Structure formats: C-alpha cells, structure tokens
Structure 1
Amino acid sequence: MPHRTFAYCRVSTVEQTTENQVLAIRSAGYAVPNNRVVAEQVSGSVPAMQREGFRTLIDHKLEPGDTLIVLKLDRLGRDNIDVQQTIGTLGERGINVVSLDLPVADLASSEGKLMLQMFSAFAEFERNRIRERTQEGLNRAKAQGKAQGKKLGRPAATDTTEKVLQCKAEGLSQSLTAKQLGLGIATVKRHWNKQPSTTSMVSKIWPPQDS
C-alpha cells in the first residue's frame, strides 16, 4: 500500500473554522483528500492523546510510513512536554510528522527532534515573558489608579474588555487570561470577541514596555 498523507487541523473556539488551515496545507503542495483531514474544536491545553479526533486518528487511521501534516506546531498542543511526547509516539509508530511553520522535513527524525526542543524552549521562554509583561502592566494600572484616587474594585466593563483583548493579543488563552486578570472564565468569554474602546484608560498605559 502506498504511503498516505493526513492533515490534522484544530481550532479552540466555535467561532473559528479549520478551513483556512486545510487550504494552507494544500497550497503548500500536500494534496490531502477530505477523508484524510481530521478537524476538531478543542483547546490546545488539552493533551493531544485526550482529544477524541486526534486519538482516533492515531489509533485507527495512521499506519507506518504515513505522513501527518499540521499547519503550525501549536495545533498539536501548547505544552512543550506534551508536544514532544506526541511526536515521539508518532515516530515510534513509523509516522512522519511535518509542521509547516518549521524548516524540517520530519519532526520525528533526529534533526526534527533537536529543532523541536530548541523551538519549544524559545516558545516557553516567550510565553513566560508575556505573562510577566502582562502582570507588570496590570500592576502599573493599579498603581496609576491609586495615584489618581480611583476607587478600587471591580473594573468597568470597558476596562475589562480592553484588558481581556490585550491578553488575547499577547497570545494568552482564555483560561490564562482569567487567571492573570482575576476574572471568571465566563466573564473572559463575554469580552473575548468584543471591539476595543478607543477611550479606555487602559489603552493609555498598555501594552507595558520593557524596562
């Protein structure tokens, strides 16, 4: 049987679709038929092997010699250890793994594993810096509010929207945004796709600048 090519596409919310991911993969030269495209809506924080669509792909569709394509490495997951374990599992089963955002033909190869470790380390570093900058910005916002005699407490809706959208722009997930801002996940979801206010005080002090 000739080797086959599959595509795995993932989005985090119901407002998103995987159509653009499929088009990008095909535009890159991978003629993946529809019956070999696995698409699902699930958070990247969920381990790959705990996702229904991905687990079905691994256990019942992929065979040794097949190739699995993803548009970006974060489609497999956001956690460094989980991504490496997933690719390791695929490699042990003789499956080639290609991520179009990385210049390696097969992530399951020795060269691919080395590059993956390097990119994952940089990505983890950047995520930590984003969290630090976000927290620094929030601390400055609180300090400025106190200096101006503003009443502390639950922020106005426009301020909450601005802060949520800033965290989103910095690449934080909804759950991390809720943790950083001290909000409930339901509140974050309400503000996630709102339009930013041009008159909010937050916009005057955001984003935080590196010292």
Structure 2
Amino acid sequence: MLVGYARVSSVGQSLEVQLDALKDAGCEKVFSEKRTGTTTAGRDELAEALTFVRDGDTLLVTRLDRLARSAADLHTIVNRLSERGVGFRCLQQSGMDTTTSTGKLLLGVLASIAEFEADIRRERQREGIDRAKAAGIYKGRKPSVDAAAVRSLRDQGLGGSEIAKRLGIGRASVYRALQANNAQC
C-alpha cells in the first residue's frame, strides 16, 4: 500500500499541491498536518502515519524537507520504516527510493545537503539581523503592552490582577511592565 505524508509549516500555507501529488502517485491513505518540521515532536499525523504503515507498504512524501529538516531525524525515520519492512519514496527527488541501494545512498547525500542549506540560511539570517541591529534599523517587535497605561492604573491604586483584566493582558505582562519602569528609574 502507498501511504502519503504531507506537511506545511504554518496554518496560512496550503497542503493542496502536496495532497494532489500524493493522490496522483497512487496513495490510498494520506496523513497531513500544519506543523513546523524542525523537530518530530508534536507532529501527531507523522506519528500516526509511522504507526499505520505495515510490512510491504511504502511511505511517500513530495520533498524530503516535508518529512524532516535534519539528517538525523530523516535517518531515524527511515531506519524506523526499514526495520518494519516499509519502503520510503520522495516524489520530487525521483531516485529517492530506499528499497534500492542507489536510493539509500541518495538519501544520505540529499539529507546532508538539505541540512547544510538550512544551516547556511540560518547563518545568513543571523548576519542580517546583527547588521540591522548595529545600524539601528532592527529593534525587535513593537511592545504589545502599553506601559504608560499600566503605570497609570497602578498609580490609581489598582492591583496587578485588576490592571490585567482592564487592559486585556496577562498579569505577568503587568509585572514585567512595572519592573521595566523601575529599572529605568
């Protein structure tokens, strides 16, 4: 049986292209989710797909990064499948079929390249943020709590819980705003 797995990283992204490709490839059952791929933790549909597949089945994904973002996670998943007699295929990397020796070799090479690309992307992003901070352009996100309103309500004699309720924020945010104010004095 061909079993598909599709994943996108955020709720705003569409699974449609992956689902269509997996169905066109002949998948009888497809598991899909909208979760980050940086770790396998919390990916319930992936866990269910790995539990569902049986000896002789093949798990299909459209691209390697839909299954795992690190070579270690990818190898762990593929080894788990192999131990159960389950093959693995990747549609967009056509030689990726772990039921063949060439496919196993290609898996290792492509997994290493994918992890390398992710590391390079993170490094470039960090360098860009550091440059923007040094130039005074990047200052982080805007405060979500109006510290002046917190101080004003506190000056009126209100406690943390009441301030939080009136402003629609958490109590911890109230105390952080007050603490930041004290640190500035």
Alpha-carbon deviation of 1:137?
A: 2.2
**Which amino acid is 1:69 matched to?**
L
SS in 2 for 1:140: helix
Same amino acid, percent of matched pairs: 35
Counterpart position of 2:139: 154
C-alpha separation in 1, matches of 2:32 and 2:135 = 45
Counterpart position of 1:31: 26
**Size of the alignment, in residue pairs?**
142
TM-score by length of 2: 0.66
**After TM superposition, where is structure 1 displaced by more than 6 Å over at least 4 residues in a row?**
none
C-alpha separation in 1, matches of 2:99 and 2:72 = 15
Structure with greater Cα Rg = 2
**Which amino acid is 2:26 matched to?**
A
Alpha-carbon deviation of 1:122?
A: 1.6
Query: Which structure 2 segments of 5+ residues have no match?
Result: 143-185
The CA deviation string for residues 163-193 of structure 1, in whole angstroms up to 9 with x for no partner, is: xxxxxxxxxxxxxxxxxxxxxxxxxxxxxxx
Query: Retained in 2: the 8 A contact 1:87–1:108?
Result: no
Counterpart position of 2:172: none
TM-score by length of 1: 0.59
Query: Which structure 1 segments of 5+ residues have no match?
Result: 158-211
Note if 1:10 corresponds to 2:1. Answer: no
**Which amino acid is 2:76 matched to?**
Q
Alpha-carbon deviation of 1:131?
A: 2.1
Alignment RMSD, CA only? 2.4
**Which amino acid is 1:45 matched to?**
T
Cα 1:45–1:137 change in 2 (3 A) is closer
Counterpart position of 2:47: 55
Counterpart position of 1:138: 129
C-alpha separation in 1, matches of 2:7 and 2:126 = 29
Note if 1:90 corresponds to 2:85. Answer: no
